[in-house]
Chain A
Amino acid sequence: MLLIEPSAVIARGLESVFAGQGEFEVCGILSDLSHSSEARIRNMAPDVMIVDPVVFDYSTRAAAKSYLSELSSAMTVGLRTTLLDDGSFKQYDEVIGLYEEPAAIVRKLRGAVESRQDAPRSEGEELSSREKEILVCVAKGMLNKEIADAYNISIYTVITHRKNITRKTGIKTVAGLTVYALLNNLIDINSFE
């Protein structure tokens, strides 16, 4: 996690709050967005950036998110330290405030990270060869347990593969996956007629 906060007192305070809670670790603190700071953000590649919008001046504040997303694909969290209008905070994935309980802050961050992981990724993705094998089994009507046994993997791994197959193809039902497998020549219709 990267903190972008001009006040050293607040930054150190947050850092110790997160250290106390575990789960999230602060990997760097920046007090401004100078050129050297930009370079550090690129190098650090944080998972989450906690940003106090006062580091932006009035004219760039509204476009903060697009500016940050050019530097890093990290999730952005707005930190409310002063009375800024709500509009400045709308663009962030989550907003935390100075007076919130540490546990509540961690909960919010966790929720935001999870919902981000669930969101469909933008890059086009081919099925991996293992996923194709699993898909064929699903199309043939095998149960998760049977697939796990056949490949000597855990049932949870099978479920993860199935989730990824659905995410990549956009197809949820077994019947739909069977059609997909056939259209892509992964199975032969004679195998289950």
Chain B
Amino acid sequence: MTKKDNTIFSAGMKLADMLDINPGLLSLLLRVGISFGFGDETVEEVCLRSGLNVNTFLLICNVYTFDGYRPGAALMHKAEPGDIVKYLHKSHDYYLHMADESLLTALEKAVEPCDEKRKWMIRKFFKDYREELAKHFEYEEKVVFPYVESVLGHKASPDYNILQYEENHSNVEEKLSDLKSIVMKYLPRECSDHDIFQVLFMIYALEDDLRKHTFIEDDILVPIVNRLEENEKE
């Protein structure tokens, strides 16, 4: 491993200890298919039992834990692109079904004291944001992920290239950031501080998660697949 991969996380440490260091990793477990009840097993043991490449898991955990972390070539080489796709796919489910559902519930509660037209407007804004997010994920699900699978199976179509997959999350990010400004600064005074806090807390967590997710797509999956494409040509 290169120096930058030499974080405090290692395959030999207990998974429980790792989660203790960064509880933010808890929501990842669901997405990579690790169930609780892992006792005192090490990261490597849990991954092996869950059918997950341990290097991929460490890489994702590093991204989620250390700001500005960039994996070295060696770790990138050892990571399993199929597992990265699995994480990305499960993350889409997580955002659209779990995170957004709870955010909507919290938002509804926060805007409860508003009059009907304001409620309608805020709901509409949230609905637009969600549609945008879903549309964006759909492209990845229908075009990008199947393409990655085909590269892994050495059956890649020569018409597509992973570099064509130019990420554009900016609309989604802008809308979420606008929602944050609106909720933080401009909701009527009747709204409960506690409810507003809950919403903001969720938005910040979601924003952060989406940023990490984008990083894993653009700066990890894309270069790995691109390297495989190059190898295929030779």
Interface residues of A (CB under 8 A from B): 169-173, 175-176, 178-180, 182-184, 189
CB < 8 Å neighbour of B178 from A172, A183, A189: A172
A182 to B187, Cβ gap below 8 A?
no
Q: Are A179 and B121 in contact (CB under 8 A)?
A: yes
Known: A182-B121, A183-B187, A189-B117. 11 other contacts (CB 8 A): A171-B178, A171-B182, A172-B177, A175-B175, A176-B174, A176-B175, A179-B122, A179-B178, A182-B118, A183-B118, A189-B120
Residues of A within 8 A of B125 (CB): 175-176, 178-179
* Bound-state Cα–Cα, A169 to B177, Å: 11
- In the bound assembly, the distance between CA atoms of A182 and B125 in angstroms comes to 12
Count of chain B residues with a beta carbon within 8 Å of a chain A beta carbon: 20
Please indicate the chain B residues that have their CB under 8 angstroms from the CB of A180 in the complex. Answer: 182, 186
Separation of A113 and B120 alpha carbons in the complex (Å): 43
Residues of A within 8 A of B121 (CB): 178-179, 182-183, 189
Main SS of the interface on chain B?
helix
- In the bound complex, how far is the Cα of B182 from the Cα of A180, in angstroms? 7
Q: Which residue of A lies closest to B122 (CB)?
A: A179
1/0 per residue, CB under 8 A from A, across B147-189: the answer is 0000000000000000000000001001101110110011110
| CB neighbours of B40 from chain A (8 A) | none
- Residues of chain A within 8 A (CB-CB) of B41 are none
What are 8 contact pairs spanning A and B, CB under 8 A? Answer: A169-B186, A175-B124, A175-B128, A176-B175, A176-B178, A179-B122, A179-B125, A189-B121
How far is B118's CA from A98's CA once the two chains are assembled, in angstroms? 60
**Once bound together, how far apart are the Cα atoms of A170 and B179, in whole Å?**
10
State in angstroms the CA–CA spacing of A169 and B181 once bound together: 8
Q: Which 8 residue pairs are nearest across A and B when measured between Cβ atoms?
A: A176-B178, A170-B181, A189-B117, A172-B174, A171-B178, A183-B186, A182-B121, A179-B125
Whether B175 pairs with A184 at a CB distance below 8 angstroms is no
State A180–B175 Cα separation when bound (angstroms).
13
Cβ–Cβ contact A173 & B117, under 8 A: no
Among A176, A182, A183, which residue has its beta carbon within 8 angstroms of that of B179? A176
Instruction: Chain A residues near B181: list those with CB within 8 A.
Output: 169-171, 176
- Which residue of chain B is the closest to A187 with respect to CB atoms? B121
* CB-based contact B178/A173 at 8 Å: yes
- Per-residue A-contact encoding for B171-215, CB less than 8 Å = 1, 0 else: 100110111011001111000000000000000000000000000
Q: Tell me the bound Cα distance from A170 to B185 in angstroms.
A: 9
Q: Specify which chain A residues have a CB less than 8 angstroms from the CB of B122 in the assembled complex.
A: 179
Look across to chain A and name the residue whose beta carbon is closest to the beta carbon of B170.
Answer: A172
Question: What's the Cα separation between A122 and B43 when bound, in Å?
Answer: 46
**Please, which residue of chain A has its CB at the minimum distance from the CB of B129?**
A175
CB of B182 within 8 A of CB of A179, answer yes
Q: How far is the CA of A47 from the CA of B118 in the complex (A)?
A: 44
Report whether B188 and A173 are in contact in the complex, using a CB–CB cutoff of 8 Å.
no
Report the separation of the CA atoms of residues A58 and B128 in the bound assembly, to the nearest whole angstrom: 58
Which residues of chain B come closer than 8 Å to A178, judged between CB atoms? 121, 125
Q: Which residues of A contact B117 (CB under 8 A)?
A: 182, 189
